[in-house]
Amino acid sequence: MSMSFSERVARLNDILCTVNVLRWDARVVMPAGGALSRGHQIATLQGLARDMLVDPAMADAAEEARLSARDDTARAAAEAVLHARAWHLKIPETLLRQQAETSVIAGQAWAKARAEGDFATFRPYLEEVVALARKMAEAIGHDGHPYDPMVQIYEPGETAASLSALFETLRAGIKPILDKALSRPAPRSDFLYRDYPVEAQKALCAELAALLGLDMERSRLDTAVHPFEISFTRQDVRITSRWDRNYLPMSVFGTMHETGHALYEQGVDKALTRTAHTTDLIGLYAVGGSSFGMHESQSRLFENHIGRSPAFWSHHFGKLRDHFPEQLSDVSEQEFVAAINRVEPGLIRVEADELTYDLHIMLRVRIEMALMDGSLAVDDVPQAWNAAMRDDLGIDVPNDGLGCLQDIHWSSGYIGSFPTYTIGNITAAQLMARFDTIHPDLRGAADAGDLKPLREALAEAVWRHGRSKDRHELLAAIGADANDCEPYIAYLRGKFGLTCHG
């Protein structure tokens, strides 16, 4: 008896969840010497998943499911498989294997190069990553920029042209707010750089994740060089953070960020488990979020709209000081809130304030586009990066570890994913602005320390749908326009005290 469509997709999802387990292990506990073998293992499993997807029997089962679908969700699942199958038939299997193997090996090389601040040791691996990305773009095909097929893996519908236009509008909106903020005296922040023991940070961050609503029966918090979230179905969603003993916000807001991702995964409707709506069939990745940008909207919402709000710390600053009584003995709640919201151009994206964060993203996207169209050689990345940091943020980069080597994304082959962070910022503001209208009591409840109404609103509007609706559809359903960055600019104006538009 032949397998049904749902059985075929469930088995494919099982394989990709297993790949996620191997990726989690590679980033958290695997010894460096295991990189080559792990690359082979992941490549083999992803190859099996691809074989299952492009199997003519899968196409027959999907077409039958499409024709017999009883609702839009079932029909969308079948159409997603058919679309992904056509996409993968354009890509040589050897190319996918090369990418999978390279991502693990390059990841190990990146970690070493980053620690040593030496781009030269990572350069040949980045050259391979870029070469493979160009081959991928060529195989997929495009009518515009070779960056287009890559960004659409992570954010369907976006192109180099659409992103450039969006970023131009956003940059124009941010600049006067940033100029105004930098004209004010900087708040006190010395206490953020005191000695914060790692074990106490871990205990605090576990509590914060639970306070935000993470179900720790279905999650765990671990350590990684670059914080990330990953799921093996909604029943097992892992988060990681990193612990800088002399900079407390790194772990606190890194954990809140990853918790936002994890809440999304845990909130997917149970009925979508092991279906096409919890499987990225293009990227061959088990994930429940509709796109990287929508996923980032959840992490940035909990990190910034909630985690950096005065209201949140009015309820939880005492808990923070209980964990670090000596370090914070001379610090008031108001001083802490001012410090974590200070505007201060810096070297590191994940430590950036809300006004300079998107400038970090725009820098990376410009470099990615130039690498893809060949106008920038890999060898010249550090120089281009350092020049952009001076021009955009007025900062000199002391070494490559604090510059172009700071992010894991390129080593993982994720060229095209960086724009989704800014899309996430824009989308988070859109969601909160619309909730103010359709859920008028929600913000008051959050200010009073009750985040359950916010989680319920997000679950209804976003989380439960998994990948069954795209970002544009999810936002349109609550009356928001995915291409409108004005709610985000308005949020930044309000937060940083710019009352005029000039």
Is 420 a member of any domain? yes
Is 96 a member of any domain? no
The domain spanning residue 471 has which CATH number? 1.10.1370.30
Residues 489, 356: one domain? yes
Residues 242, 340: one domain? yes
Q: Which is more confident, 32 or 294? A: 294
258 assigned to active site: yes
Tell me if 257 is assigned to a ligand binding site: yes
Tell me if 40 is assigned to a ligand binding site: no
What own/partner pairs with CB < 8 Å and gap ≥ 24 does 488-493 have? 488/170, 488/173, 488/425, 488/426, 488/428, 488/429, 488/430, 489/170, 489/173, 489/174, 489/177, 490/429, 490/433, 491/305, 491/429, 491/432, 491/433, 492/173, 492/174, 492/177, 492/354, 492/355, 493/177
Give residue-wise pLDDT tens across range 404-463.
999 999 999 999 999 999 999 999 999 999 999 999 999 999 999 999 999 999 999 999
Residues 77, 164: one domain? no
**Confidence at residue 459, expressed as pLDDT on a 0 to 100 scale:** 98
Is 376 a member of any domain? yes
Give residue-wise pLDDT tens across range 343-402.
999 999 988 999 999 999 999 999 999 999 999 999 999 999 999 999 999 999 999 999
Res. 502 pLDDT band, cuts 50 70 90: very low
Residues 85, 197: one domain? no
Residues 215, 345: one domain? yes
Record the pTM.
0.94
Give residue-wise pLDDT tens across range 238-270.
999 999 999 999 999 999 999 999 999 999 999
Residues 164, 85: one domain? no
Overall domain count for the chain: 2
Residues 269, 414: one domain? yes
Is 17 a member of any domain? yes
Is 449 a member of any domain? yes
Residues 318, 454: one domain? yes
Nearest to 482 by CA among 158, 79, 151, 159: 158
Which residues span the domain enclosing 65? 1-90
Is 114 a member of any domain? no
At 106 the three-state DSSP class reads helix
Residues 83, 204: one domain? no
**Confidence at residue 378, expressed as pLDDT on a 0 to 100 scale:** 98
Which of 90, 110, 125 delimits the end of a domain? 90
Whether residue 32 is predicted with pLDDT greater than 90 in this model: the reply is no
Tell me if 303 is assigned to a ligand binding site: no
| Mean of the per-residue pLDDT values of the chain | 95
**Catalytic one of 101, 155, 158, 258:** 258
Residues 64, 168: one domain? no
Whether residue 500 is predicted with pLDDT greater than 60 in this model: the reply is no
Give residue-wise pLDDT tens across range 98-144.
998 899 899 989 999 999 999 999 999 999 999 999 999 999 999 89
Is 111 a member of any domain? no
